[in-house]
Chains A and B, each alone.
Chain A
Amino acid sequence: MKYLHNIGTYFIMIKDIFRRPTKWSVMKPLILKDIDDLIIGSLGIVAFISFFVGGVVAIQTSLNMTSPLMPKYLVGFATRQSIILEFAPTFISIIMAGKVGSFITSSIGTMRVTEQIDALEVMGINAINYLVFPKFIALTLYPFVISIAMFLGILGGLMACVYGGYGTMEDYVEGVQLDFIPFHFIYAFIKTFVFAFLLATIPSYYGYFMEGGALEVGKASTTSFVWTSVMIILVNFLLTSILLG
C-alpha cells in the first residue's frame, strides 16, 4: 500500500510541476543556477570518468582478442559500441544519480527541514513548480553532458590503444567508423532524455516529501540514489527491449 501511495504522490507531484507557474523573472535565474549546479558542475567528473573508462574498455577489448583472426580495428568498434549504447547514457546516469540526485534531494530536503518550503507555501507559491521545474529544465541539457561523455570515452579509448601499444590509430579510427548505425545515436539520446527526467523528478520527490531532521535528509539522499538507479536500470531494460529488441 505504501508503495502505491508513493507512486501516486510522485505522479501528482509531476502534474504540480507544471501548474501555477512561477513568474518568469523569478524562474529565469533559478534555471540558470540549476544549469550551473547540475550540468556545468558535473562536466568535470563526467569527463574524467568517461575518458578513463573509455581507455579501460579499449585495453580490455584488446587483451581479450587472443585470436589472430580477429581484426585489430575491432578495438575501436567495441569501444564505440560500448560507450554509445550503454556506458555514456546509462552508467553516467547512475553516476549522476549519485552526484546530481543526492544534491537535489539534500538541497530540497534541507529546505523542508528548515521550513523554507513551508515559507513558500504560506506565501501562496506553488513550491513544487518553484523548486522542481528549474531542475527539470536544466536537465533537458543533460544530452549535452552525455555527448561529451561519448566523445571523451571514444577519445580515451584511442589514447589508451595508441599510447598503450595495443593498436594503431588507423585501426582504431577504422573500427570507430565501421558499420555505423545512426539509430544507435537516436536510441542513446532517447534513453538520455528519459533518464534526465528521472534524475530531475525522483530525487526531487524524495527531498520534497521527506519528514524529520538532518539525519533524515541523509537517509532520503541515499534512498533517492537507490531508487533513481533502480528506475534507470529498469527503464534502460524496457527501452532497449522496445527500441532494439
Chain B
Amino acid sequence: MIEVKDLKKSFGDTQILKGITTSFEKGKTNLVIGQSGSGKTVFLKCLLGLFEYESGSISYEGKNFSKLSRNEKTNLRSEMGMVFQGSALFDSMTIAENVMFPLRMFTKQSKSEMEDRVDEVLKRVNLDDAHKKMPSEASGGMQKRVAIARAIVNRPKYLFCDEPNSGLDPKTAIVIDNLIQEITDEFNITTVVNTHDMNSVMEIGEKIVFLKNGLLEWEGSSETIFRTDNEAVTNFVYSSELFRKVRKMYLEESE
C-alpha cells in the first residue's frame, strides 16, 4: 500500500502539487486522471522518488520514503517497475536485453535462468518472437509491451505507468489496459496509472484519483464516476458526446 499525505511540490515560484492526500491499495489498479498540466506526471515522479518534494510524505507499507537510507531506497526501488510515457527502452539493447537488464543489475541468477525468465515475461506480454529486435524496429504498442515486460521481470511490488496508452490506436490501447489489469491481479501488486484516456477510466479504474490544478478534486472508482455530480470531473470525463451517452445509458440501466 502507498500512502500520500499533504504532498506539496513547486518548481521555482510555481506550485505544482498543492497538498495531495490519498492512498493506493495493494492488488488494485489505481488511476490518476486530470487534464494536461494538472500535476499528474510530477505526482508520479514524486512517488518514484525522481523529484524531491517540499513537504508532506509518501509511505510504502508504512515506511516514509524520504526518511529511508540510501540503501533502503535502492532496495525499495528494485521493487518498483515503471512504464514511461515514451517507453524509455534502452535503444542500444535488443528487446530481450532490455527486459533482462533489471535481472542483470539486481539478481545473481545464471544466464540461462535470466533467459528463461525473459522468455516467460515476453510470452506474458504476447511478444514471443521479438527477442532479437531493436526497440527502433518495434511498433509503439510493442514498445509499450516491452516496457511492461521490463517493469515486471523482477517481480515488483509496485507498478507505475505514465500514460501507457498515449500514441496508441484504440485497439492496442485496450490490449495494454487489459494487460496492466491482468498483471495487477495476477501478481497482486500495487499499480498506479497516470492517464487521460477515458477508455482506461471505464475499463480498469478500480480506484480513480482526479487531480485539478495540483489539488485532489475527487476520488472514486469506475462505478462511482458515472454517478458523481462533481462538475470538474463531469466536465473532464464526459467532455465528449460519446461518453455523455454512455453515462446516460449506464444511469438509465442502473435505475
A binding-site residues for B, Cβ under 8 Å: 20, 22-23, 25-26, 33, 114-116, 118-119, 121-125
**Residues of chain A with a CB closer than 8 A to B106's CB:** 123-124
Selected interface stretch from B77-85, B203-211, B241-249: B77-85
Complex CA–CA separation, A26 to B74 (angstroms): 17
CB pair B104 A122 closer than 8 Å: no
CB pair B105 A114 closer than 8 Å: no
A22, A114, A122 — most chain B CB neighbours (10 Å): A122
B88 contacts the other chain (Cβ, under 8 Å)?
A: yes
B73 contacts the other chain (Cβ, under 8 Å)?
A: yes
Chain A proximity mask over B66-80: 1 for CB below 8 Å, otherwise 0:
000010011111101
**Residues of chain B with a CB closer than 8 A to A114's CB:** 86, 88, 91
Closest 4 CB pairs of A and B: A124-B77, A115-B88, A124-B74, A119-B88
Query: Taking the nearest CB of chain B, how far is it from the CB of A132, in angstroms?
Result: 16
For chains A and B in complex, what number of residue pairs have CB atoms within 8 angstroms? Answer: 53
Chain B interface residue count: which class?
Answer: 20 to 34
B42 contacts the other chain (Cβ, under 8 Å)?
A: no
Residue from B70, B74, B88, B102 within 8 A of A118 (CB atoms): B88
Contacts A116-B90, A118-B50 given; does A123 touch B105 at CB 8 Å: yes
CB pair B50 A122 closer than 8 Å: yes
Query: Taking the nearest CB of chain B, how far is it from the CB of A26, in angstroms?
Result: 5
**Residues of chain A with a CB closer than 8 A to B90's CB:** 116, 119
B1 contacts the other chain (Cβ, under 8 Å)?
A: no
B48 contacts the other chain (Cβ, under 8 Å)?
A: yes
Q: Which residue of B lies closest to A118 (CB)?
A: B50
Complex CA–CA separation, A26 to B108 (angstroms): 12
Residue from A33, A115, A123 within 8 A of B102 (CB atoms): A123
24 residue pairs from A and B, CB less than 8 Å apart = A23-B104, A114-B86, A115-B86, A115-B88, A116-B88, A116-B90, A116-B91, A118-B88, A119-B84, A119-B88, A119-B90, A122-B49, A122-B80, A123-B78, A123-B80, A123-B101, A123-B102, A123-B105, A123-B106, A124-B73, A124-B74, A124-B77, A124-B78, A125-B105
Chain A proximity mask over B90-117: 1 for CB below 8 Å, otherwise 0:
1110000000011011100000000000
